[in-house]
Chains A and B, each alone.
Chain A
Amino acid sequence: SQKIEQNSEALNIQEGKTATLTCNYTNYSPAYLQWYRQDPGRGPVFLLLIRENEKEKRKERLKVTFDTTLKQSLFHITASQPADSATYLCALDMRTAGTALIFGKGTTLSVSS
């Protein structure tokens, strides 16, 4: 069966540390992988997209890696801050009609000061 797993439901880290979130998938071959942030009671907000032929993508304190052999993406937030506390969702972009995204359940990150 097809599955997307994000390593844990919750991740707690201290301010200043690097948060690493994992997204694993089976039985898919996505053309792109996207990461979103969702705050309570709000819609997801797009953060980063990485293509199947890219190994790594960076945006400010964010870094995403994509290993199509391992079928895994890692999402890193360096120098984390309490304001980074949110739920982070990975989504597979299969490039089908309408760019239907397939989402994982998300990992809720809590950064304590």
Chain B
Amino acid sequence: ETGVTQTPRHLVMGMTNKKSLKCEQHLGHNAMYWYKQSAKKPLELMFVYSLEERVENNSVPSRFSPECPNSSHLFLHLHTLQPEDSALYLCASSQEKREGGEQFFGPGTRLTVL
């Protein structure tokens, strides 16, 4: 395993539901990320928390709301999603200020919006 865990692994929700995805890293890293992976499309970076500073991608709809209470935990709060939001949501972490910056990914949450 990579040291990055995600829960739940699978989630089915209706468009009016509110749910949260959770990510935890056990690597002592200081940066965490949310990516969206849809079929036939490259991984899309959604949000970055680096040294506790949030760097936001302005194209992410407001129905996705990240939260990073500390350097080990990251959440993605979801509400009033659309069917096109169905995708694999991946969390990753890395150690900033070190040459390289390779990212360690969790197994992902497969989200289906009905």
Contacts and interface: CB of A to CB of B under 8 A. Distances in A.
Do A and B associate with each other? yes
Interface of B: 2, 4, 31, 33, 40-43, 45, 48-50, 53, 55, 88, 90, 92, 94, 96, 100-108, 110
Interface string A82-113: 00000001000101011111111110000000
B100 A32 contact: yes
A16 interface: no
B104 to A, nearest CB: 7
A12 to B, nearest CB: 18
B50 A45 contact: no
B105 A93 contact: no
A106 B41 CA distance: 9
Interface stretch (A36-44, A64-72, A73-81): A36-44
Contact of A46 (B31, B50, B103): B103
A98 B108 contact: no
A97 B92 CA distance: 15
Contact of A43 (B45, B48, B94, B105): B105
